[in-house]
Structure 1
């Protein structure tokens, strides 16, 4: 009888060790873990068959309870793992969304929205913000607020040979045509963009407290 019970305990231990963690079996049934080939790990049906072969009813019940406890613990761990996986996928989705905003185009558009609020308060525009529409208005009325002034002065300083209104429209067109550059909390400006465009976006980033990465 004792030999049968020790054999069953060893089978339980081998099966559970294949999942990567050792279950909390009763102290008097926990064997020493030994290395075995993967092919020697028994299936559940083999364990149950071994349990049925134990003559002593008390020992048979105790062995069954041990297996049930192990199975329950394993199911709980798998459930927690699934929940964690869902949370990680949500976090990754949020990161991708945030990274999409932290681009040269995202910064330019945000400043344009802030300038729109200034111009709307002054009565120069109505309705909702349209970046392509607000740029010439902000350039013509830079005195209405700091963000309008920032757009105007940046365009004038970085592209001194062009009219600020035309410069801002050109920058917006270039950034709109370009795919967003992903970044991790900083703003990445494509080095292939014209120098004037990169200069303007850098100044906008400096004002907003954003760091430009190479």
Structure 2
């Protein structure tokens, strides 16, 4: 989908902070993990807040929060089980519906524009249920995980950093960072987002 002017400017600002000439080694950059001391800088998190707090995310979150306002935990569990089952099935109606949403299209485009920096991006609503994602996640409900419990459940300014992991397939270090998506109208959190960052690519650009 075409990017709105504000979105394009935010993406350009992020590119200015992180830009490095792309190479064919962006994902498989090294056979050895980078230094364990590598961290996601706060400036990057600030930029990520800007590029994700866009109209497509805000509208999607408000809409899904309204639909799920009275959802029971049993229904959440059933949806999560359906999603998990669909990841191993040929027919995937719930996954197809979510992957075809405007927000998922936006996140897929954002991941592609990062040129290997973003491994995965997904947005969750106020219940912890996925609203949009750049690729198929292993589960649909994040409400029992720290990416939700230590962000949306804490407050608008919360940030949670996951453990650094080594991906042996791509030979990269990666780490998740999660934070709330805030409604500019009232300053309250509408949901949360998780970015999985390719630390090896981030180090290459530094």
TM-score (norm 1): 0.23
Q: 1 or 2 for the larger relative contact order (CA 8 Å, sep ≥6)? A: 2
If each structure's strand is expressed as a fraction of its own residues, which one has the higher value?
A: 2
Larger radius of gyration: 1
TM norm structure 2: 0.23
Which has the larger share of helix?
1
